[in-house]
A and B are shown apart, each in its own frame.
Chain A
Amino acid sequence: MSNSSTAIHNKTLSELRGMLDDKQISAQELAQHFIQRIRTHDSTLNCFVSVTEDLALLAAQQADEQIAAGQAGLMTGVPLAHKDIFCTKGVKTSCGSRMLDTFIAPYNATVVERLHQAGTVMLGKLNMDEFAMGSTSESSYYGATKNPWDMQAVPGGSSGGSAAAIAAGLTPIATGTDTGGSIRQPAAYCGITGLKPTYGRVSRFGMVAYASSLDQGGPMARSAEDCALLLNVMAGFDARDSTSSEQASEDYSAQLNIDLTGLKIGLPREYFGSGLDAGVAQAIDEAITEFQKLGAEVREVSLPNSELAIPAYYVIAPAEASSNLSRFDGVRFGHRCDAPKDLTDLYERSRAEGFGDEVKRRIMIGTYALSSGYYDAYYLKAQRVRRLIANDFQRVLSEVDVIMGPVTPSVAPNLGESFKDPVAMYLSDIYTVPVNLAGLPAISIPVGFAHNRPVGLQVIGNAFAESKLLNIAHRFQQVTDWHRQIPDAFK
């Protein structure tokens, strides 16, 4: 598809690369274009916690020098924004929390450092659910982000700022993190592409920890092709992350065009049950038909323990969170209450004032599950259930190449709806959470609309099958144009 007429903010990375290399636009002009887009649109969308204009223009100037010297890499001069969970040296890293409202990170996360070294231009830091706990991006201390497709709708979460900013053309690509669906679900709700890599594929160093055995950073962009370019820089072994995989990373762009003839797709019957919205189901069915036209074979499979994933997740994730978030004590960094009368008062009030409601709920659930007398009944049991869920995937993925299904049971809900009942919000992550428990990679790609809001298809693969997932998504995006749809207000 030729796109010489599309606006700059709707171009793909390869189109932007061509323009930069041919001197049709400078990196500084490109950065200014996006900064201007942010200035115009973000007062209503609220995607950004911080806009780093000065740093962006400086990085863009350096990129222009490299381009002029013929030393440009694939990402030199490409604008991006980071979820505000990644530490950025000298720039506020809030994690969407009052607790870190004044925290200026003293170092870069590995992901940030790699992308900086690759010559990208950081536009700013993106809004998110507080400490990545939420499915709507409404729990942020900085207020809710809106969905560019419908200002009454949530963008999803927790990487809602990332997804909304890409959908609105405020940044071409962004980083996100996914503990229970936080890349895939907002990608689905905002009609963009988002990949949650295999656990351990992308370094967690400098990424504020929520649930350490589940957290994984990944790329978000309009297309699979752009996600591959971003993952190429993000992925790889990092000695500073003790759970980083030593398996070599790949050129994720190399296999995008492999033919899908004979691809075996499993459709888990548990992902197409009564809880699935009919409009979402229809869009998913049409996408599956498209894959059949591309030569794939489809068969029904079963992941019988799927419905146990949310219960197990809401023990494991809060347990790990209660431990990770114990570091916020009002002593070394982060919020501190005024005039503490003793040490206990310092801890208790600093944490009560610094954390929002959802974070407090999860800390308390985790504390309870790990407390004396309950450990076996909750935490150990959840870890056994986790094994069952991982075994289900392992069995099915030995019979088929990938698993496909919806990302979410319905389209994006309205703002404010999810506050009323936390448990109802948790259940909306039913198709994404099992993947985190098993540590597998999965991609969300836009496949249409239901109720005038975007629908995402999820493709789940074996550990370290990122290239295959990107290949499958790319082939689909070559014969469809859902990923090229742009909300009217942001064209």
Chain B
Amino acid sequence: MSITPNEVMKIAHLARMSVDHDDVERYAQDLSGILNLVEHMNQVDVRGIEPMAHPLDMCQRLRADVVTEFNQRDTLQAHAPAVENGLFLVPKVIE
């Protein structure tokens, strides 16, 4: 399996992570190398094997529907790059 430079650009966009033009070829090679490693999985027939999503096969624990969190907006927004009136600021989304 090999990843083309075009595919790198597509994957990078899906991940919302820009890649410098000069780095695209190198990422294409690196990702192709990793996928070649991954494809060793194909040596084994796994039909009928139940996928294992979690090591202990545990169920999601439920809790009582009561308030456990208190308001920490000011504390949590203290690290935000840009806030105003308690809101996170981003560039204009709708013209």
Which residues of A come within 8 Å of B, CB atoms?
A: 102-104, 106, 199-200, 213-214, 239, 242-243, 245-246, 305, 307-308, 310-312, 314-315, 322, 326, 329-336, 340-349, 351-352, 355, 360-361, 363-365, 367-369, 371, 378, 380-388, 390, 421-423, 426-427, 437-440, 463
- B67-88 CB contacts (< 8 Å) to partner A: 72, 75-76, 78-82, 88
How long is the Cα–Cα vector from A311 to B41 in the complex, in angstroms? 6
Residue of A199, A351, A368, A381 near B41 (CB, 8 A) is A381
- B8-55 CB contacts (< 8 Å) to partner A: 8, 11-20, 27, 30-31, 33-41, 43-44, 46, 49-55
The 4 closest A-B pairs by CB, nearest first: A439-B55, A383-B51, A336-B81, A384-B46
Residue of B30, B33, B54, B88 near A331 (CB, 8 A) is B88
Q: Apart from A308-B40, A331-B90, A439-B56, what are 13 other A-B pairs with CB-CB below 8 Å?
A: A106-B76, A332-B76, A346-B90, A351-B18, A363-B17, A365-B34, A371-B11, A371-B14, A385-B41, A385-B44, A386-B51, A422-B33, A437-B55
Cross-chain pairs A/B with CB under 8 angstroms, 20 sampled: A106-B72, A242-B61, A311-B38, A322-B15, A332-B76, A332-B79, A333-B81, A336-B81, A347-B17, A364-B8, A368-B35, A369-B38, A371-B11, A384-B50, A385-B44, A385-B46, A386-B52, A387-B46, A390-B55, A426-B37
Q: List, in ascending order, chain B residues with CB within 8 A of A331's CB.
A: 80-81, 88, 90
Contact B91 A343 (CB under 8 A): yes
Contact A387 B35 (CB under 8 A): no
Contact B18 A438 (CB under 8 A): no
Q: How far is the CB of B50 from chain A (nearest CB, A)?
A: 6
Q: How far is the CB of B67 from chain A (nearest CB, A)?
A: 14
How long is the Cα–Cα vector from A360 to B55 in the complex, in angstroms? 26
| Residue in B closest to A437 when the chains form the complex, CB atoms | B55
Q: List, in ascending order, chain B residues with CB within 8 A of A369's CB.
A: 38
How long is the Cα–Cα vector from A454 to B34 in the complex, in angstroms? 29
The answer to whether residues A384 and B49 also contact, given A103-B79, A348-B16, A438-B55 and a CB cut-off of 8 A, is: yes
The answer to whether residues A368 and B11 also contact, given A314-B34, A422-B33, A422-B34 and a CB cut-off of 8 A, is: yes
Q: How far is the CB of B94 from chain A (nearest CB, A)?
A: 10
Q: List, in ascending order, chain A residues with CB within 8 A of B40's CB.
A: 307-308, 310-311
How long is the Cα–Cα vector from A33 to B41 in the complex, in angstroms? 51
Contact B91 A346 (CB under 8 A): yes
Q: With an 8 A cutoff between CB atoms, is B66 at the interface?
A: no
Central interface residue in B14, B16, B43, B50, by most chain A CB within 10 Å: B16
Contact B18 A348 (CB under 8 A): yes
Q: List, in ascending order, chain A residues with CB within 8 A of B11's CB.
A: 364, 367-368, 371
Residue of A213, A322, A333, A345 near B54 (CB, 8 A) is A213
The answer to whether residues A305 and B80 also contact, given A331-B90, A361-B34 and a CB cut-off of 8 A, is: no
A contact patch SS: helix
Contact B14 A365 (CB under 8 A): no
How long is the Cα–Cα vector from A345 to B16 in the complex, in angstroms? 9
Contact B56 A245 (CB under 8 A): yes
Contact B55 A351 (CB under 8 A): no
Q: How far is the CB of B6 from chain A (nearest CB, A)?
A: 13
The answer to whether residues A387 and B49 also contact, given A245-B56, A322-B15 and a CB cut-off of 8 A, is: yes
Contact A390 B35 (CB under 8 A): no
Contact A329 B16 (CB under 8 A): yes
Q: List, in ascending order, chain A residues with CB within 8 A of B90's CB.
A: 331, 343, 346
Q: List, in ascending order, chain B residues with CB within 8 A of A378's CB.
A: 38
Q: List, in ascending order, chain B residues with CB within 8 A of A355's CB.
A: 17
How long is the Cα–Cα vector from A77 to B50 in the complex, in angstroms? 49
How long is the Cα–Cα vector from A384 to B47 in the complex, in angstroms? 8
Q: List, in ascending order, chain A residues with CB within 8 A of B53's CB.
A: 213, 383
The answer to whether residues A384 and B18 also contact, given A310-B37, A330-B81 and a CB cut-off of 8 A, is: no
| Residue in A closest to B15 when the chains form the complex, CB atoms | A367
The answer to whether residues A384 and B52 also contact, given A308-B41, A331-B81, A351-B15 and a CB cut-off of 8 A, is: yes
Q: How far is the CB of A219 from chain B (nearest CB, A)?
A: 20
| Residue in B closest to A370 when the chains form the complex, CB atoms | B14
How long is the Cα–Cα vector from A334 to B56 in the complex, in angstroms? 33
Residue of A342, A345, A368, A463 near B56 (CB, 8 A) is A463
How long is the Cα–Cα vector from A341 to B18 in the complex, in angstroms? 14
